[in-house]
Chain A
Amino acid sequence: MSAATKTNEGLYDCRDAFSKTLEALAEADDRVVAVVNDSVGSSKLGGFKKRWPERLVNVGIAEQNMVGVGAGLANGGRIPFVSCASCFLTGRALEQVKADVAYSNTNVKLCGQSPGIGYGELGPTHHSIEDLAWLRPLANLVTIVPSDPWETEQAIRFAAAYEGPVFIRVSRYPVPALEHKIDRIEPGKAEVMREGTDVAILANGVMLHKALRAAEVLAEGGVSARVVNMAWMNPLDIEAIVDAAGTGAVVTVEEASVRGGLGGAVAETLALRRPVPMELVGFPGFVPTGTVDFLFDHFGLTAAGIAAAARKAISRKE
């Protein structure tokens, strides 16, 4: 866990893993550059800027140009990590992400910082619960939603080594370091975090640890829940989803809109391959004012809420 910085109560801000990993990569390879929209602080790239001021390309508050510049840097043989609050990166610059990065198939690494409802009280303008739905149809764009510092480090290292466009969600919401049974992430491969037979909970990002806690809650009530880490949104692990449906009930959990993200991807897959009762846990739309934890509680993105969704899905089994 070399890249992780421990916060209070054994929780970690994945942005620290992002910036430390990026610095390690930049030290080893001078092609690695960072591109930001005045987002040095919010991307935790102060250390990078200090060490390589000329390789930290700050275009100012101009996200469309930021993504285009990233594509241009890739054309010039650099490996650009374009880092910016996910809401602006994917919303303001969506056409650049589509045309300059995904459709052009350029070697640009898009790092959506503080996604989901990470900005809490700042409200839906600054939330990015739509990003997964916006990006999921974009061919070529490898999309990863890491769950903890280790997986964030793995995703950043994968992106640097991979030739092609990548989007990575980099969360700020404090999460525990999870027990992974794998040594390294594998493209498009879901990770079964816990075996189970009555229901499968498919989660990613900062919701994965809550899904694991939900499985513990369910176990106390005699329900055996499988928990699958769906960090890879693209490529999607179709077989892991179909296999999960073998439990007879599926719940998806994401720090995102319930429309078009992980829930949508799993629902599409199961509708075609193996329909089973499903529940989608996420946000129904623009959320009201509140802290991040308040909003998670309010919309049932908690261990108890996920467990309730699991019981509901199980109750709908024929």
Chain B
Amino acid sequence: MSLSTASAPVSGADRIDMVRAKALNIRRSAFTMVHEAQLGHPGGDFSAADILATLYFGVMRYDPNEPRHPDRDRFIMSKGHCTGAFYSVLAQAGFFPEAQLKTYMQPLSKLNGHPNRNYLPGIETNTGPLGHGLPVAVGIAIAGKLTAKDYRTFVLTGDGELQEGSNWEAAMAAGHRKLNRLTVIVDRNRLQQGDRTEATNSLDPLDDKWRAFGFHVEMIDGHDHAALLDVLGADPESRDKPLCVIANTIKGKGVSFMEDNVSWHHGVPTDEQFAQAMKELI
């Protein structure tokens, strides 16, 4: 069967509205999961929500009923700890029932704290330890070239995660091989688990680093749906390099007391905080 791009029948302003609504749903769903489980990584769920909504409801080609279709676009959640957002977008996209989200991190649930491809459809590789997504994505992109397939490969990394050397091994290979159908999106929220990235082991100038490794780089507001749709939706054949999108984001985006606050990396809400957040996430 053929795969359709989620964006096909809707265009322009309607598409942006749809992505915005999906992103809001991801945040509400993820925070509900984290609240119920009293576990999770909500700050990073929120910084990534708009990127995920754009990919799954505006850019990627997939069929949730045939999750391993050979021609599907691939998405790898390299920041595998942000499963609140990742499971939520997969459920909204139809890979499994949204009711299953209630089991998040419960004993024997398929919704482990970090994603497992053997538990749930829509997951390409098991992530969790950082710096694993990009090498696998490079391999998928090489396979695409070898087999002359036109699928695209997307990988979402955290920014602190880029301190892992394996990313740069993979970046070097991607640049060398001019894997133009590969897109790396960096969730540049500037916070890692314990502190600011720049206070811990600085990444800037991050765009220069990716350029030096052979990538075409776009720096955008990672919460601007129009900009995300524009940059991620562009025809990869229009360039002869892999694409790196540095998405400038705010950790905890959408909830006033969580935004840009390092304690919400893996902070979990009280009932009062949860109620307050739900009032803001509308």
Residues of A within 8 A of B (CB): 33, 54-55, 57, 59-60, 62, 64-65, 67-78, 80, 95-96, 99-100, 103-106
* Stretch with Cβ within 8 A of A (4 or more), from B128-136, B210-218, B219-227, B264-272: B128-136
Min distance, Cβ B26 to any Cβ of chain A, angstroms: 24
- Contact call A64/B135, Cβ cutoff below 8 A: yes
A99–B132 CA distance with the chains assembled, in angstroms: 8
CB-based A-B contact count at 8 angstroms: 109
- Contact call A76/B140, Cβ cutoff below 8 A: yes
In the complex, the chain A residue whose C-beta lies closest to that of B124 is A75
A114–B166 CA distance with the chains assembled, in angstroms: 24
Q: Residues of A contacting B135 with CB < 8 Å?
A: 64-65, 67-69, 71-72, 96, 100
Q: Residues of B contacting A78 with CB < 8 Å?
A: 143, 146-147
> Known contacts A75-B124, A76-B140; is A69 also within 8 Å of B173 by CB?
yes
Does B255 sit at the interface, judged by CB under 8 A? no
Does B251 sit at the interface, judged by CB under 8 A? no
Residue from A55, A65, A71, A74 having most chain B Cβ neighbours under 10 A: A65
> Known contacts A33-B146, A55-B146; is A70 also within 8 Å of B139 by CB?
yes
Q: Residues 139-150 of chain B: 1 if any A CB is under 8 Å from the residue's CB, otherwise 0?
A: 111111011010
Residues of B within 8 A of A (CB): 70, 74, 116-118, 124-129, 131-132, 134-144, 146-147, 149, 165-166, 169-170, 172-173
Q: Residues of B contacting A64 with CB < 8 Å?
A: 131, 135, 165-166, 169
A60–B139 CA distance with the chains assembled, in angstroms: 14
Query: Nearest 7 A-B pairs (CB), nearest first?
Result: A72-B139, A76-B143, A68-B135, A65-B169, A69-B139, A62-B169, A64-B166
Residue from A70, A72, A77, A105 having most chain B Cβ neighbours under 10 A: A72
Out of A55, A60, A74, A106, which one reaches B173, CB within 8 Å? A60
- Contact call B141/A72, Cβ cutoff below 8 A: yes
- Contact call B132/A76, Cβ cutoff below 8 A: no
